[in-house]
Amino acid sequence: MPSPLDTPEDGWWSDKINRREAMWLGLTGVWSVIIFGWMSAFTRIGDQNPIGETLRVSADEYQDKMRSYKDAAGERDGALVPPGTDVFIAAFRFTWDGTPVVLEAGTEYDVHLSSYDVQHGFSIRPEHALSKQMNFQVLPGYEWVLPMTFDEPGEYHIICNEYCGNGHRTMHGTIRVVEEL
């Protein structure tokens, strides 16, 4: 019996494919097309992808926006209260500018995110539930406007989940959601 590692006399492609092998190749091809179509449709139709708008903005321009926002914002228990439904948060080593912030439950806010220096990860979750976490990448030179509604009152933790330097582990912020402002 010849070794399966030796090249056949007629070459590899001259032998007919076994009927069962052809059937399995056909099934895997059809299944691959179905999975590809499902993934493509899910990213377009599914509810898992964050919506929002991305704008080009320099760090200096965003710092000016943050200053204007903070000047117009009120204060409650040492936290900012936005003047409207726009909330500005900026990342820089090793803090979240614009936090802590107090928001009203059930109100849709446009959360503006940007970075002054390097790439950061914006990870937000309710205090009591690790499984209800959302993650976004925050890049310098871009402002990401995300519509967010907080249905449940409570405290929401913000951490940086993208290593940004030696003080990365200290990069925390909070959003307090209350019934009424």
HEC assignment per residue over 108-123: EEEEEEEECCCCEEEE
Is 5 inside any structural domain? Answer: no
Is 11 inside any structural domain? Answer: no
Is 96 inside any structural domain? Answer: yes
Q: How many domains does the structure of the chain reveal?
A: 1
Is 111 inside any structural domain? Answer: yes
Residue 16 confidence (pLDDT): 80
Residues 177 and 104: their CA atoms lie apart, in Å, by 5
Is 6 inside any structural domain? Answer: no
User: What are the CA-CA distances from residue 89 to residues 100, 141, 155, 174 (Å)?
Assistant: 10, 14, 16, 11
Q: Which residues are catalytic?
A: 92, 94
What does each of the 181 residues of the chain score in pLDDT, given as a tens digit?
Answer: 677 788 777 777 777 888 999 999 999 999 999 999 988 888 777 666 667 889 999 999 999 999 999 999 999 999 999 999 999 999 999 999 999 999 999 999 999 999 999 999 999 999 887 778 888 899 999 999 999 999 999 999 999 999 998 999 999 999 999 998 7
Residue 159 confidence (pLDDT): 94
Is 28 inside any structural domain? Answer: no
Quickly list DSSP for 17-44. Answer: PPHHHHHHHHHHHHHHHHHHHHHHHHHH
Range of the domain at 105: 53-178
Is 86 inside any structural domain? Answer: yes
Is 13 inside any structural domain? Answer: no
Residues 81 and 87: their CA atoms lie apart, in Å, by 9
Tally of CB atoms within 10 A around 67: 12
CATH number where 158 lies:
2.60.40.420
Quickly list DSSP for 2-17. Answer: --TTSPPTT-TTSSPP
Structure tokens at 170: 């200290």
